[in-house]
A and B are shown apart, each in its own frame.
Chain A
Amino acid sequence: MIKVMIAKPGLDGHDRGAKVVAKALRDAGMEVIYTGIRQTPEQIAQSAVDEDVDVLGISILSGAHMKLVPKILELLKKMGSNMPVFVGGIIPKEDAKRLKEIGVVEVYGPGTPTSEIAEQVRKFVEHSNA
């Protein structure tokens, strides 16, 4: 059984996208924990570690991804976790590249088919277990 957390940091309150992904992953047979909106990096990292999820998905539309995502990665590392983290949202190409350099496994723009995300999440988990 794959456990995923979908988290929504930052100040924007639009969680339609996050919920669509959460539901799609559930329909793909995964257990999906949703954190709700406006979460701090501390809340997200601690929740993901406490729930011992296999994968963490972060949805960001606010534009603050270059601040929030590295912070979450840093906190996870500090807590001794190396869980795969993916990001969804409106992320410029060069930022996406940078995020992947610092350890994000994938960045999804709007309109990515949810079936593709589900399939890749399975792969992330397989890899991290290998």
Chain B
Amino acid sequence: MSNTRMREDEFLEGIKSHDRRSLAKMLSLCEKDPETANVLLDKLEKKTSHVVGITGSPGVGKSTLISAILDKMNGKNVGVIVVDPSSPFTGGALLGDRVRMQSHATNEKFFIRSFANRGALGGLSPSIYEACDTFESFGMDNVIIETVGVGQSEIDVSNIADTVIVVLSPDNGDEIQMMKAGLMEIADLFVINKSDNPRSQILLSRLRAMTAGSKEVPIYLTNAVTSEGVERLVRALDSRFFQILSDGTLSQKRRKRLLNHVKSMIRRELDRLVQSFEIDGISPKEMRDHIIEELCRKKRL
């Protein structure tokens, strides 16, 4: 842990009193020791923030769009989680999303935190649930999560976000063709960014054609650099939150998120156990029995 350590009660007091430094340290705890973070989170009251996941291929403008969204979020408290990939070989990571959002770095209403995905299943951070809960405990009105944009991260973000924005851009080759299976299903809103590129109109009509007939997914055109269209998007997010809050969708989403949070906790335990096992001369079945026994024993401790 970097510089001064914090004690558990200091964390709790700090988060309750909206101390920014405690938030920073708590998010580190989520990464370093998620089990302890979960114990602390249990003792904190949680606000229901609107959790918005933003996904789409690298380079479509997700980070720039978040910065433009923050510009229109005057008066609201917003936590931003940006995730970038770790190298599977060295474990190192270059986290560069912040570059696009630095104009907000000193805004006391906003808090931006970079995470490496650390090889997590699905491409989000292994501590994403704890980090999101931490922001909600801190009392954020909104939590925005930017995914890596490759692999399974799109699908994974729908396990935690109340609203998923899929961002496309016209300069990314044939985006529609490249659109992965599952992406249509998880999008609550589509954004075609880089509307300054004339080809965005072609992308728009193709996306319309593609989504015709299935559930109604609104499409927004934005220019994240000039902020054109961003205000409309922000208003749409707000009215969607109001809607899902009142029609029961939100509680469904929260139930799903809770289950996924629990699964990720169990998976962490399981990974640790499996890795610590001597596998010599033992059958898969025997190993399974041992591990389950071990899990139960641990629970009773």
Contact = CB atoms under 8 A, between A and B. Distances in A.
Interface stretch (B83-91, B167-175, B271-279, B285-293): B83-91
A36 B99 contact: yes
Interface stretch (A49-57, A97-105, A109-117): A49-57
Interface residues of A, number: 37
B93 A43 contact: no
A34 B21 contact: no
Interface centre among A46, A55, A128, A129 (most CB of B within 10 A): A46
Contacts of A47: 98, 102, 105, 112
B2 A3 contact: yes
Given A39-B102, A51-B114, A83-B3, A30 B21 contact: no
A39 B86 CA distance: 25
A129 B93 contact: no
A123 to B, nearest CB: 14
A27 B89 CA distance: 9
Given A26-B90, A29-B91, A51 B113 contact: yes
B3 A46 contact: no
B127 to A, nearest CB: 12
A51 B99 CA distance: 13
Interface string B89-118: 011111110111010011000011110101
A49 B105 CA distance: 11
B2 A46 contact: no
Contacts of A34: 94-96, 98-99
B231 to A, nearest CB: 25
Nearest to A32: B94
Interface stretch (B24-32, B54-62, B180-188): B24-32
Nearest to A7: B102
A27 B91 CA distance: 8
B2 A83 contact: yes
A82 B3 contact: yes
A92 interface: no
Contacts of B4: 80, 82
B90 A53 contact: no
A33 B113 CA distance: 10
Contact of A52 (B24, B102, B106, B112): B24
B20 A50 contact: yes
Contacts of A128: 2-3
A64 interface: no
A47 B31 CA distance: 18
B1 interface: yes
Contacts of B114: 33, 51
A42 interface: yes
Contact of B93 (A31, A42, A49, A51): A31
B21 A79 contact: yes
A26 B102 contact: no
A52 B94 contact: no
A49 B21 contact: yes
Interface of A: 1, 3, 22-23, 25-36, 39-40, 42-43, 46-47, 49-55, 79-83, 125, 128-129
Given A40-B106, A50-B112, 14 more contacts: A1-B31, A26-B94, A28-B90, A32-B93, A32-B95, A33-B95, A35-B98, A36-B99, A43-B105, A49-B20, A51-B98, A51-B114, A53-B2, A129-B1
Across the A-B interface, give the 9 residue pairs with the lowest CB-CB distance, nearest first: A36-B99, A26-B92, A54-B2, A43-B105, A52-B24, A29-B90, A33-B95, A52-B28, A29-B92
25 contacts: A1-B118, A3-B2, A23-B94, A25-B92, A26-B94, A27-B90, A28-B90, A29-B92, A31-B86, A32-B92, A32-B93, A32-B95, A33-B98, A34-B96, A36-B98, A36-B99, A36-B100, A47-B98, A49-B20, A52-B2, A54-B2, A55-B2, A80-B4, A82-B4, A83-B2
